[in-house]
Amino acid sequence: MIQEKFFKRWKVLRVAPWLWSGRGLAFFLAALTLLIIVSYGGALLSFFSFLDNENEIRLLSRKIHVIDHLVADTRQIRLGRNGYLDSGQKAYLATYTTGIENFSSDLDVLQKLSPDKGLLSGSPELSEILSGVDPSLLATARSLRQRGLMETRVHFLKADRSVTLPSTTLSLKKLRTSLKGMETNRAVAARRRLMRIPVQGCHLFRPKLPPPGGSFPTLILIKLATFSRV
């Protein structure tokens, strides 16, 4: 009886990890960690890759938003210039100067979003936009704003002829089209890689069942990521 109890207790010690210590416990924890990494490591790697693509997509969306502002600023400048030359109303002069100031501010934002190694580096459209902006344009607009009601159409026309207005609408549209294509391709490729299924449409953004070759951990992670996306 004593021998049977001893062997039973010994068997419990051998198969109960919570009773281990020293090398046995360390080996068990290492094996458990390795098992978890093998089981869920692929899902985590796919998830972090997905997050990286999501950040790039957000950056592209911000650039597209700024480009839309630049297009609106260019239209505002043209409207203010033509309206003031036709009617002489000071409201058009304010529209003109405000449009130039907004254009300069938005262009600075676009440049900050596009570092030397960014997604717009070497872009011919961006180079054309930057080269087409007169450096003295902003200073002229501020001078016109300060003169205010003392300004006349003769003075305005003289100042207007001394600078070159940004004629960048076509370049901005080309740049927007290029960025929009990059945004769409990244979004589709990221979800296609993560879900491991052929692209079939917008149902990829709201999956209901785990895809063939995928896993529930991967599905849960992408659900959390898409839910938190702004």
Q: Per-residue pLDDT tens for 26-81?
A: 777 777 777 766 666 666 666 677 777 788 888 888 988 998 998 899 889 889 88
Angle ∠(99,102,105) on CA atoms, nearest 5: 150
Is 0.85 surpassed by the pTM of this model?
no
Q: At what angle do helices 23-87 and 90-112 cross, to 10 degrees?
A: 160
DSSP H/E element including 219? helix 216-228
Instruction: Mention the CATH class of domain 48-190.
Output: mainly alpha
**Domain ranges within the chain, ordered by starting residue:** 48-190
Q: Which helix (H) or strand (E) holds 120?
A: none
Q: pLDDT digit string (tens) for 133-166?
A: 777 777 877 777 777 655 667 777 777 776 666 6
Stretch (H or E) spanning 152? none
Give the DSSP letter string of 21-50.
-THHHHHHHHHHHHHHHHHHHHHHHHHHHH
Residue 115's SS3 state is coil
